[in-house]
Structure 1
């Protein structure tokens, strides 16, 4: 059970200030809570505030059906769980495409993540000042997105 006061604080959370991004739309990576996997390059997939920054970055990287140039255009990839920004990836300028038509961003960097969504407590991991500022703006905010897959696209020119 989640306390009513916590639910009310989450409901009152501001919308992501997407107008700060340098593109007309941004991709959003929608993930679930982290679960263990048996893969050569990672042990987890999804989000958990308890993961180390290195493990969290590995757990958020993947191969997605997406329009890679559109993902890269905004300069950041907000990561959401249930409509709240819990992490921000940057370093999306280069990508690879596999034989199944999915894209990966091998140079993606973890700019920051939340360790407590209800408070929210942010951990900024980016070394670049612009990436840190962007992560600080987005983390803990509300960001609704709709898609049948992991990647959704949201206009940056609206208040939602």
Structure 2
């Protein structure tokens, strides 16, 4: 059960200010809560507020069916859990493709993450000003997306 004050706090959360981004659409990585991974490169898959930045970045990296060029073009990949931005990835300029047609972004950086969504308490880990701005803009905001997979695409309403 989720306590009523938590539900009320989340229901008033501001929507992500996507109109401030310099892209017509952005990709959104939709994740679940972290679960242990059967992977030699990482212990977890998904999001947990208790993971440190290094473990969280590893937990959020993956191989996805997506339009890699579109993901890279926006320069930012908000990570959502139940429709709220819980982390922000940047550094998406290069990607790899595996034999199954999935893409990975090996140089992705964790620009920031939340440790409490209700308050919200955010931790900006970005080392560049541009990445800090993106993290501050998106972390903790509501961002609805619909897709049959992990990656969804959302218009920013910045088209001319």
TM-score normalised by the chain length of structure 2: 0.97
2:60 matched to 1:60?
yes
2:7 matched to 1:7?
yes
2:145 matched to 1:145?
yes
Query: 2:155 aligns to what?
Result: 155
Equivalent positions of 1:39-58 (< 5 A) are 39-58=39-58
In structure 2, distance between residues paired with 1:151 and 1:38: 22
In structure 2, distance between residues paired with 1:75 and 1:19: 14
Unaligned runs of 5+ in 1: none
Query: 2:73 aligns to what?
Result: 73
2:103 matched to 1:103?
yes
Query: 2:34 aligns to what?
Result: 34
Q: CA RMSD in A?
A: 0.8
Residue deviations 1:39-63 (CA, integer Å, cap 9, x gap): 1100100000100100000000000
Count of matched residue pairs: 158
2:89 matched to 1:89?
yes
In structure 1, distance between residues paired with 2:51 and 2:6: 23
- State the shift of 1:146 in Å: 0.3
Query: 2:21 aligns to what?
Result: 21
In structure 2, distance between residues paired with 1:155 and 1:38: 35
Runs of 4+ in 1 over 3 A off after TM superposition: none
Are 1:21 and 1:75, in contact at CA under 8 Å, matched by a contact in 2?
A: no
TM-score normalised by the chain length of structure 1: 0.97
Unaligned runs of 5+ in 2: none
- State the shift of 1:29 in Å: 0.1
In structure 1, distance between residues paired with 2:22 and 2:63: 24
